[in-house]
Amino acid sequence: MAKKPKKFESVYARFPPPKFKVGDWVRYEISPNYPGVVQLIRYDGPLGRNGTHRFRFRRIDEFGQVYESGLSETDVVLADPPNPLPVPVIQLDLDY
């Protein structure tokens, strides 16, 4: 008789599901006087300490500059989207 193959168990199955999903707006503290509201753009998985879920976020400042970075779900709380939504500055290609 042929052996049955072992059922593959994902490493991610050991951790609870993430609190947030891609597209959510969250609030985190950029500095003590400036709480930032950012949008989650990518889920990286439970890569943090003790399986903490990590996300990538995109922030657009008041001048239209775009910043992208990563953070842990323990550092943020759910927030409402800003009104009006931030608009990035158009990057112009300079051909010389």
Domain limits at 24? 16-78
Domain assignment of residue 87, yes or no: no
Domain assignment of residue 7, yes or no: no
Q: How confident is the model at residue 49 (pLDDT cuts 50, 70, 90)?
A: confident
Better-scored residue on pLDDT, 94 or 58: 58
Domain assignment of residue 90, yes or no: no
For residue 83, which amino acid is it? N
Evaluate if residue 1 carries a pLDDT over 80: no
Is 26:35 a contact under the CB 8 Å cutoff? Answer: no
Domain assignment of residue 91, yes or no: no
What is the pTM assigned to this prediction? 0.69
User: What pLDDT does residue 10 have?
Assistant: 63
The sign of the CA dihedral 60, 78, 46, 6 is negative
Domain assignment of residue 63, yes or no: yes
User: What pLDDT does residue 37 have?
Assistant: 85
User: What pLDDT does residue 16 have?
Assistant: 82
Is 16:71 a contact under the CB 8 Å cutoff? Answer: no
Domain assignment of residue 96, yes or no: no
Average pLDDT over residues 45-56: 85
The CB density around residue 74, as the number of other CB atoms within 10 Å, is 11
Domain assignment of residue 69, yes or no: yes
Q: pLDDT per residue over 7-36, tens digit each?
A: 666 666 677 888 899 999 998 877 776 678
Quote the DSSP letter at residue 32: T
* CA trace torsion 74, 76, 77, 81 (10° rounding): -150
Q: What is the CATH number of the domain that holds 68?
A: 2.30.30
